[in-house]
Amino acid sequence: MSEKKESPIRIGIVGGGAFCKEFIGKTLSYSKEYVDGAQIVAVADSDSEAPGVVLAREMGLITVSDYHEFYAPDHHIDLIIVLVPHEEVFDDILATKPIHIRLLSNRVLRLLWNTVALQEKKFKDRTEELMTILDGIQDFIVVITPEKEIVEVNQAFLKQMGYTREEVIGRTCHEVFQNVMYPCEPGDIVCPMNEVVRNKRPHHQVLTRVDHNGERRFIKLTIFPIWEKDGKISRFIEISRDITERKKEEEEITGRLEHMVEERTRQLEETHAKLLHQDKMASLGKLSASVVHEINNPIAGMLNLLMLIKRVIDEGSVNQEEIEQFKRYIDLMETETRRISRIVSNLLAFSRQSKMKVKDVDLNRIIEKTLFLNSNLLKINGIKVEKDLSRDLPDIMGSEDQLQQVFMNLISNAAVAMEVPGGGILRIETEHSLKNDSIIAKVQDTGVGISKENLKQLFEPFFTTKKRGKGVGLGLSVAYGIIAEYHGSINVESEVGKGTTFVVELSLDQSGRTKDLNSKE
């Protein structure tokens, strides 16, 4: 059963002066809602133009000239408040009023009123102090209701965002902050108040808002909930600051850094290309010295054969046996000429500063070509070559020139490491790793080996253990850079006095790298 609602206490006021007007104005709203179950319904004063009477008449209250009319049953007066200071009025009402009507004297009301006024003044002073403090804070402070209505802001917010109080107070946050008439949708922006409600704790966020001129501003905010006793939120307190200038500076710095990185990358690419060529020329110099004898020997042999043929012809008629001998000489000279041609062609191809061409490359063929170019160097040093090249090795997408440079460095370094009496064994293996879908190539020598201290610096540019004038220390650094471009790896194992093994692994999936290389062409 629902509880019966009590009727409000109906109040009649005696005395319609200035105090009456103040009293009515502070205790009644213009919609005539009652305060704490009490309702002012009537004013009595002999002066019909007294300020309180005029206000009561404007508000539609009962106005009479004689307070005795309050006794009439049709007015239903429950309480008479005497605002005039005359004791005789109070005594008369006390003696004549019906028993059910209560009475409050002017003296008691003044005491209560002054107490309330004092507390009101203290509250007002305190509010002014707080507003002074808030207005002195440079951060923005905004008070928002759960219905998204802005009820208070400080001067810093108004000044920076270009608003007046009248343009902000009473409007919704999405109207002011986003310049839209509808609440923010989840896809548009993360509403910090919704995040507070969802997580039940203060929320930090950086978002964009528009100022009075419609310009976008970056705002860093923290929003705090004010909880009521029943667990509901009564207010949101937002403390924020404008970080637009800082954001612009960060974007400018980022832009400058990106430009610097691009410029530095370009310089590094140019330097890398120069190092590649420098290393290639160093390798070419070593090769040239090595193949001079390889070329001179067949040339000297061919010259001797030509002189022999010429002498035989000069001596007179040539018989059939000598003609057959000449054919054998010509066949031998042709073989040696083709051999010289291959050597020279390979040297020219290796030295040429050509545009990189990406295509399917047979790694076994590259290794065979590289061994051929180094054959005289290996023969001079008494080095025996052992090969175990996989017959089913798949092609790899890449640059034949680059990959040849890698194995040129590894093979020539192995040859130098075995420049000792008795030579050594150079073993080269290739295989297709199904596990990683890659090609693995091993270059193993039985040379002097590399110390643990030098292994740490082996791939650093210009680091070399060779004698002065024998190398510039770029070969392995360049090889490492090339293999890295193929998203591969190059590792080394070595033991002093027993030899060194280089293991090169190249992924067969070079699609991403091929796009990068093609974009550079």
State the CATH number of the domain containing residue 233.
3.30.450.20
Shared domain for 181 and 40, answered yes or no, is no
State the CATH number of the domain containing residue 427.
3.30.565.10
> Is-contact 469 451, C-beta < 8 A?
no
> Is-contact 399 361, C-beta < 8 A?
yes
Query: What's the pLDDT score for residue 1?
Result: 42
Residue pLDDT, tens place only, 411-461: 888 888 888 777 899 999 999 998 888 999 999 999 888 888 888 777 776
> Is-contact 458 474, C-beta < 8 A?
no
| Ranges under pLDDT 50 in the chain | 1-2, 30-35, 293, 353-354, 469, 472, 519-521
Residue 83 contacts by C-beta under 8 Å, 6 or more apart in sequence?
Answer: 13, 14, 15, 17, 19, 20, 23, 52, 106, 109
> What b/e sequence results for 219-234 when a residue is b if at least 16 CB atoms lie within 10 Å of its CB, and e otherwise?
bbbebebeeeeeeeee
* 109 is a domain residue: no
Domain assignment of residue 142, given as a range: 137-242
* 176 is a domain residue: yes
Shared domain for 216 and 269, answered yes or no, is no
State the CATH number of the domain containing residue 13.
3.40.50.720
Final residue of a domain: which of 83, 104, 125? Answer: 104
Shared domain for 393 and 503, answered yes or no, is yes
The residue length of the chain stands at: 521
Final residue of a domain: which of 222, 242, 262? Answer: 242
Final residue of a domain: which of 209, 242, 275? Answer: 242
* 113 is a domain residue: no
Query: What's the pLDDT score for residue 292?
Result: 59
In this structure, what are the phi and psi dihedrals at residue 222, rounded to the nearest 5 degrees? -130, 130
Shared domain for 260 and 197, answered yes or no, is no
CA geometry: angle 326, 297, 387, nearest 5 deg:
105
Query: What's the pLDDT score for residue 300?
Result: 62
CA distance 84 to 13: 10
* 132 is a domain residue: no
Helix axes 400-417, 475-485, angle to 10 degrees: 140
Shared domain for 369 and 344, answered yes or no, is no
Query: What's the pLDDT score for residue 217?
Result: 86
> How many domains does the chain fold into?
4
Shared domain for 369 and 515, answered yes or no, is yes
Query: What's the pLDDT score for residue 353?
Result: 47
Shared domain for 237 and 320, answered yes or no, is no
Shared domain for 451 and 365, answered yes or no, is yes
Query: What's the pLDDT score for residue 287?
Result: 56
* 124 is a domain residue: no
* 247 is a domain residue: no
> Is-contact 342 372, C-beta < 8 A?
yes
Query: What's the pLDDT score for residue 343?
Result: 60
Shared domain for 448 and 477, answered yes or no, is yes
Query: What's the pLDDT score for residue 34?
Result: 40
Shared domain for 514 and 420, answered yes or no, is yes
CA distance 422 to 383: 8
Cβ atoms within 10 Å, residue 173: 23
**Residue with tokens 């064994």, as numbered in its chain:** 425
Shared domain for 502 and 390, answered yes or no, is yes
* 114 is a domain residue: no
pTM: 0.40
Tell me how far CA of residue 198 lies from CA of 82, 123, 300, 359, 456, in angstroms. 54, 34, 93, 58, 55
In this structure, what are the phi and psi dihedrals at residue 107, rounded to the nearest 5 degrees? -65, -45
> Is-contact 443 414, C-beta < 8 A?
yes
Query: What's the pLDDT score for residue 329?
Result: 75
CA distance 217 to 244: 6
* 120 is a domain residue: no
Shared domain for 76 and 175, answered yes or no, is no
Q: For 332, what's the count of Cα atoms within 13 Å in the CB-facing half-sphere?
A: 16
